[in-house]
Amino acid sequence: MQALPLGLHHTHMRHPSLARPYAFKQLVAQAAAPYRRCGRFAWRWASGKLAGDTLFHTLVEQQLVPPAAHVLDLGCGQGLLAAWVLTAAEHALLPAPASWRGLDLNPRDIGHAQAAWGAHASFSCANICDTAFGKADLITVMDVLHYLPHAAQTQVLQRIAQALPAGGRLLLRVGDAEAGWAFRWSRWVDQLVILARSGRLCSLYPRSLPAWQQQLHALGFRVRALPRDGQRGFANVLLIADKLA
Ligand SMILES: C[S@@+](CC[C@H](N)C(=O)[O-])C[C@H]1O[C@@H](n2cnc3c(N)ncnc32)[C@H](O)[C@@H]1O
């Protein structure tokens, strides 16, 4: 499928199964609107990220959310993925989840997620390294695992594999450490965001794309990687990992 360019200036996006463009810009505005009650920064961050990150349109374009899924979002930040999926579901652009649970270390982000979308989803302040995952049909981990040391990454992936049934899905976005300048650019932006948000730098633990894929295969997943096209020079790759029987 052809990747579409994204941006605030692109108002209408094509949705394949509806065979009509959908109002991307309006959807972004609707998903971001509840963050107004968390202050201008949280709302601006939500609007900018939802509009500028190709992930959100890709979820709709490629129909990556299974129907009636119990969803667990690990490292959910301020809950933007929930905001997008729940809003898209309201317009029948994605299937409505049966339930949504988000976990993140950052109490301020969890507070914003709760204030904005807490009526439709549950968000808890928790470390994904030592919190029980329970059962889920869809687990999402977007731009999170590189914050964990390699051994902790492996343990989280093992626990994800245990939490999913056969046919369950993991959507995992990771950086590709072998992506050259794109990886260096992504890492630099990452550190800048961390510095702006927490006032400190932190260690990151990247892996190459083949290493991520190999680990997922070993845990019993069939893995498909979406090309990095259209991701504005970033080295992030979305892995669609389906748990085999
Ligand atoms: C780059 S942000 C991505 C947020 C969200 N997934 C998104 O795409 O908007 C990374 C998030 O991972 C969270 N995080 C990092 N290590 C974590 C851990 N051990 N347990 C829970 N959350 C963690 C951070 O607090 C941060 O919100």
Look at residue 204 and tell me whether its pLDDT is greater than 90.
no
Q: Are 86 and 63 in contact (CB under 8 A)?
A: no
Q: How far is the CA of 75 from the centre of ligand 1 (A)?
A: 4
Predicted local confidence at residue 200, as pLDDT: 79
Q: Which two tokens stand for residue 144?
A: 């999170």
> In whole numbers, what is the pLDDT of the chain averaged over residues?
89
Q: 40-52 and 107-117 are packed helices; what angle lies between their axes, rounded to 10 degrees?
A: 80
Q: 114-141: per-residue pLDDT in tens?
A: 999 999 999 999 999 999 999 999 999 9
* Closest residue CA from atom 26 of ligand 1: 77
Q: Does 9 score more than 70 pLDDT? A: no
- Which of 135, 147, 162 is closest to 219 using CA atoms? 162
Bigger pLDDT: 33 vs 206: 33
Higher-pLDDT residue of 157 and 232 is: 157
The pLDDT score that the predictor gives to residue 244 is 97
Q: Which one of 78, 105, 133, 159 would you pick to mutate in the ligand 1 pocket, going by the greatest count of ligand atoms within 8 A of its CB?
A: 105
Q: How far is Cα 174 from Cα 141, in angstroms, rounded to an integer?
A: 9
pLDDT at 11 over 70: no
Look at ligand 1, atom 14, and give the residue with the nearest C-alpha: 75
Atom of ligand 1 minimally distant from the CA of 129:
19
- Nearest atom in ligand 1 to the alpha carbon of residue 103 is 21
Q: What is the C-alpha to C-alpha distance for residues 38 and 235, in angstroms, rounded to an integer?
A: 31
Please compute, for residue 175, the number of CA atoms within 13 A of its CA located in the half-sphere on the CB side. 27
pLDDT band at 227 (very low <50, low <70, confident <90, very high): confident
Residue nearest to atom 1 of ligand 1 (CA): 143
- Tell the residue nearest (CA) to atom 10 of ligand 1: 144
Query: Ligand 1: residues whose CB is within 6 Å?
Result: 75-77, 80, 103-106, 109, 127-129, 142-144, 147-148
- Max mean pLDDT among 4-8, 161-165, 229-233 falls in 161-165
Question: How far is ligand 1, taken at its centre, from the CA of residue 204, in Å?
Answer: 12
CA of 24 relative to ligand 1 center, distance in Å:
25
pLDDT at 3: 31
Of 235 and 228, which is predicted with more confidence?
235
| Helix-strand-coil split of the chain, %, nearest 5 | 40, 20, 40
Average pLDDT for 239-243: 98
